[in-house]
A and B are shown apart, each in its own frame.
Chain A
Amino acid sequence: MNSLQTENVEAEPAAGKRPGNYRMHLMLCAGTGCVSGGSYKIKEALERELAKHGLTDEVAVVMTGCNGFCAQGPVMAVQPDGIFYQLLDEKDIPHLVEEHMLKGRPVEELMYTPPAERAAVPKMSEIGFFKKQRLLALRNRGLIDPEKIDDYIGRDGYQALAKVLSQMEPEEVVQEVIASGLRGRGGGGFPTGIKWKTCRLTPGEPKYVVCNADEGDPGAYMDRSIVESDPHVVLEGMAIAAYAIGASKGYVYIRHEYPLALERLRKAIADAREYGLLGRNILDQGFDFDIAIHLGAGAFVCGESTALMASMEGHVGEPRAKYIHTVEHGLWDRPTNLNNVETYANVPQIILRGAKWFTSIGTGDVTKNPWGGSKGTKVFSLVGKVNNTGLVEVPMGITLREIIFDIGGGIPNGKKFKAVQTGGPSGGVLPESLLDMPVDFDQLTSVGSMMGSGGMIIMDEDDCMVDIARYFVDFLVGESCGKCLPCREGLRQMSSLLNDICNGTAEKGAISLLEELGQTLAETSLCALGRTAGNPVLTTIRYFRDEYEAHINKKKCPAGVCKALITYSIDAKKCNGCTLCARECPQHAIEGEKRKPHRINNNLCIRCGICREVCKQDAILVK
């Protein structure tokens, strides 16, 4: 234990002091978003300024994982005051340290001001973005330094592992997880406990535990953020799963495009081995388990269980027919339990606080049937046309409206909400009329979308639904592995039809052909990627059929997006002849005299929209 303490002293800035004597902790976000915004420069500036005022022994700077409020990064919470600073810049630091850390006067200019409000809101707990969230998988975010295993242990880390190893039989662990109603957070929503049970009962040695951190949906970064802000919770969840099913080897399949998550994961595994929390005879309880990292090359299809395992074995990442279950014939043809990062992150708290506590959060009833409801919380990444882009964790059953408006802060620039895409590229697009729907696995499926891994893309009145559908289908065309025909060819056909609609060359009947293709994909594809690939098209047709019809019948794009169907013109009443648009137009398609209304030559115009962006009079019309 001696060397352990030495290491701690070295790690703390105030050598020789017992940790815990700081009166103030500056929790500076070091998630990928904030780091690219300059967190480390801010850290240096903070340390320099604190030293200047002789505060080094009183105030600690702690680098935390992603805090979720990425839109406002770099962000920093000052504890115990609970003051939240945002959009920090190196040059703000001298003033901030002198005012707040030395004199105790929080600096209002650096606090968060909610859109539509004037006064800055100083406390984290009072900011709408944080207020409605309920943190479970992310319970340690912003509170611990993800690179310090002791910080994790200080928040009850590894206590759940200690509990199962010393007090519970593997069968009891499985029963507890079944009773909790925990369902797979990767998107499928399969009851985790049932998966564990099947894997446990399947004969065959050795068994494997695999963590799926191959997050591939555009706009989704829940798993990355959990690994970055609290890597040990994933390791602990995996170790508990391994004990429950009888495995001694685990793998984390993570994409190589996540360098920071990878670095923290590697450090976490090394630290856990050092403490004997991974390896042989864990906590002296006679249980062996170790974890290795497998780097993925970033193919979307490798998030699918069988393709993921094929890739781990060194084969091409292609899925296989699902009637052969991976819990029976998984990695190297052995019984394998595969769960998502967020699923594992929920496990330690379920063990510590009990299944009953977990079932008190969420929807439905899981006492008789694990499919009977959605329990616990879900992490969503909120992106697109929303004020507070970021990562949020909310109880199951919260409405879309609460997520988008109360937490997300609504739509920027006073625009009108149009739709929200849930579940990534193979999820669905939901309209305003469904905003008051409670969000859980079954509700989302019933309206043609899905939970997916939790990406949520918000769209406003300027987004064309046909164009959005085309975007997702094109993404999937590129990511389809090509093994089965419906997905390979069906998606190409859908893409070509959508292109025709956007270009105004589609014929009547295109909509029903798209629907037929979508249905065929759903019924005949080999894996879930193909089966759900039609969702963006099917849901946009279901909820925005009038937009499709306008494109086909009237050759108009109501949102003003599809270039072949729109024309730009200048409102002569609003134009003051400032010449700005004429100077910026790359085609020199705008002419007119100074201080007199300008005109656009539609033969030259390429509808790039630059004139509309630069016009200060709002005089450019799109029809």
Chain B
Amino acid sequence: MSKLRIEDLDKIAERQKKIVSLRDGAGRVKITVHMGTCGISAGARKIMSAVIRCVEESAASDIVVTTSGCAGLCSREPMMTVEVIEQAPVKYVDLDEEKVKEIFDEHVMKGNIVEDYALAMGGEHTL
């Protein structure tokens, strides 16, 4: 195999940073797909795949995708929460794959909340 030059080192680093940055738990945007039993039966697995596909296509390295449990509003599943760093989280409801794509392009990439699908902003008060 050919030996590395300094530029090659940067290329590998760039490629790897995506993977490794996830392990820092830090990112510009965090997308949480709610994967309770209700969410899964309403199709949250498809939503998750769609989100991962969007992240992959965008080639962005600062997006963290994670799962959490039922958000308590089982009738509006599948749901996901988009949290842009230093902004209040937004919960989206009644999702399908097209809506995910739209939310990803508008909210995640451009910062515009897609009000049509949004349920609420902010989180619940916890003690």
Which residues of A are in contact with B by a Cβ distance under 8 Å? 1, 3-4, 18-25, 27, 54, 58, 79-82, 101-105, 143-144, 150-151, 153-159, 162, 166, 274-277, 279, 281, 283-285
Are the C-beta atoms of B64 and A153 separated by less than 8 Å? no
* A-contact 0/1 string along B46-88, CB 8 Å cutoff: 0010011001100001001111110000000000000000000
Q: Which residues of A contact B32 (CB under 8 A)?
A: 104
Set A155, A159, A281: member contacting B9, Cβ < 8 A? A159
Known A21-B56, A104-B35; contact A166-B6, beta-carbon cutoff 8 A? yes
Instruction: Check A19–B56 contact: CB distance below 8 A.
Output: no
Residues on the B chain within 8 Å of A19, using CB = 15-16, 18-19
Q: B20 on the interface (CB 8 Å rule)?
A: yes
- Knowing A154-B12, A166-B6, the reply to whether A143 touches B20 (Cβ < 8 A) is yes
* B contact set with A: CB distance below 8 Å: 1-6, 8-9, 12-13, 15-20, 22-27, 30, 32-37, 40, 45, 48, 51-52, 55-56, 61, 64-69
Give which listed residue, A144, A159, A281, contacts B3 with CB less than 8 A: A281
Residue on A nearest B20 in the bound complex, by CB: A154
Are B48 and A58 touching (Cβ within 8 A)? Answer: yes
A82: chain B residues within 8 A (beta carbon): 25
Contacts A103-B67, A103-B69; is A80 near B25 (CB within 8 Å)?
yes
Chain A residues whose C-beta falls within 8 Å of the C-beta of B67 in the assembled complex: 23-24, 101-104
Chain A residues whose CB sits within 8 angstroms of the CB of B26 once the complex forms: 80
A20 in contact with B19 given A58-B52, A103-B37, A153-B12 (CB within 8 Å): yes
How many angstroms between the C-alpha atoms of A101 and B8 in the bound complex?
A: 35
Q: Are B9 and A80 in contact (CB under 8 A)?
A: no
- When the two chains form the complex, which single residue of A101, A104, A281 contacts B34, counting CB atoms closer than 8 Å? A104
By the criterion CB–CB under 8 Å, are A3 and B34 in contact? no
**19 interchain pairs, CB-CB under 8 A:** A1-B1, A19-B18, A19-B19, A21-B52, A24-B66, A58-B52, A80-B27, A80-B30, A81-B25, A102-B35, A103-B37, A104-B32, A104-B35, A105-B69, A166-B6, A276-B4, A279-B3, A283-B6, A284-B3
Contacting residues, chain B, for A27 (C-beta < 8 A): 23
User: Whole-angstrom distance from the CB of B14 to the nearest CB of chain A?
Assistant: 8
Contacting residues, chain A, for B19 (C-beta < 8 A): 19-20, 22, 25, 151, 154
Contact partner of B4 (CB less than 8 A), chosen from A58, A143, A283, is A283
Residue numbers in A under 8 Å from B35 (CB-CB): 102-104
Beta-carbon nearest neighbor of A57 in chain B:
B52
Selected from B13, B25, B33, the residue in CB contact (under 8 A) with A79 is: B25
Verify B4–A275 contact, CB threshold 8 A: yes
Complex Cα distance, B2 from A283, in Å, reads: 11
A101→B30 CA distance, assembly (Å): 16
Instruction: Determine whether the beta carbon of A23 is less than 8 Å from that of B52.
Output: yes
Chain A neighbourhood of B4, CB < 8 A: 275-277, 283
**Chain A residues, CB < 8 A from B34:** 104
Shortest C-beta distance, A273 to chain B (Å), equals: 9
| Residues in chain A near residue B2, CB distance under 8 A | 1
Q: Top 10 closest A-B pairs, CB basis? A: A154-B16, A276-B3, A104-B67, A20-B18, A23-B65, A104-B68, A80-B25, A105-B69, A154-B20, A79-B23
Residues of B contacting A24 in the complex (Cβ-Cβ under 8 angstroms): 66-67
Q: What's the Cα separation between A276 and B1 when bound, in Å?
A: 9
Would A154 and B52 count as touching, CB distance under 8 A?
no
Partner of B22, one of A79, A101, A150, A157: A79
Residues of A within 8 A of B45 (CB): 54
**Alpha-carbon gap, A23 to B56, bound state (A):** 11
Q: Contact between A103 and B20 (Cβ–Cβ < 8 Å)?
A: no
Question: When chains A and B are docked, how far (Å) is the Cα of A302 from the Cα of B40?
Answer: 60
Report the minimal beta-carbon distance from B49 to chain A, rounded to whole angstroms: 8
Closest partner residue, chain B, to A154 (CB atom): B16
Residues of B within 8 Å of A150, CB to CB, are 12, 15-16
Partner of A156, one of B6, B13, B36: B13
Q: A27-B23, A144-B20 are in contact. List 20 more A-B contacts (CB 8 A).
A: A19-B19, A20-B19, A20-B56, A21-B52, A23-B52, A80-B25, A80-B30, A102-B40, A103-B69, A104-B35, A104-B67, A153-B13, A154-B13, A154-B15, A154-B16, A154-B19, A158-B9, A281-B3, A283-B3, A283-B6
B16 and A162 contact, CB distance less than 8 A:
no
Known: A1-B2, A102-B35. A18 touches B23 (CB 8 A): no
Contact check, A155 vs B65: say whether CB atoms are below 8 A apart.
no
Please name all residues of chain B whose beta carbon is closer than 8 Å to the beta carbon of A276 when the two chains form the complex: 3-4
Which chain A residues border B52 with CB–CB below 8 Å?
21, 23, 58
Q: Which residues of B contact A22 (CB under 8 A)?
A: 19, 22
